């Protein structure tokens, strides 16, 4: 599993746990647990966003590498 996929999966799990805590806090009339749930959801969403950014950066790096490889091949063909 790539780092970005791991971040997204962990973030989703944290978000879901936060929703459960928030719900439990509402049902038990426990504002602290509800607030913890909100915080967990925010952390989970941030982790998922970080995973998306890592994935996008990896895609950009892959495309740049492909372009460089193509350019090098063109140079070799022109000099042969």
Question: What are the pLDDT digits (tens) for 23-68?
Answer: 999 999 999 999 999 999 999 999 999 999 988 888 887 788 887 8
Categorise residue 29: left if φ over 0, alpha if ψ from -120 to 50, beta otherwise: left
Mean pLDDT of the region 14-18: 96
- Residue 73 has what pLDDT? 80
Structural domain containing residue 30: 3-79
pTM, two decimals, is 0.72
**Cα 65 from chain centre:** 22
Q: Based on the structure, what is the number of domains in the chain?
A: 1
> What is the reported pLDDT for 47?
94
């Amino acid at each position: 599993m790539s780092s970005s996929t791991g971040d997204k999966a962990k973030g989703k799990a944290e978000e879901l746990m936060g929703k459960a805590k928030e719900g439990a806090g509402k049902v038990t009339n426990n504002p602290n647990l509800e607030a913890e749930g909100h915080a967990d959801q925010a952390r989970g969403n941030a982790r998922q966003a970080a995973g998306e950014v890592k994935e996008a950066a990896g895609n950009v790096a892959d495309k740049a590498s492909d372009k460089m490889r193509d350019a090098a091949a063109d140079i070799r063909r022109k000099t042969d």
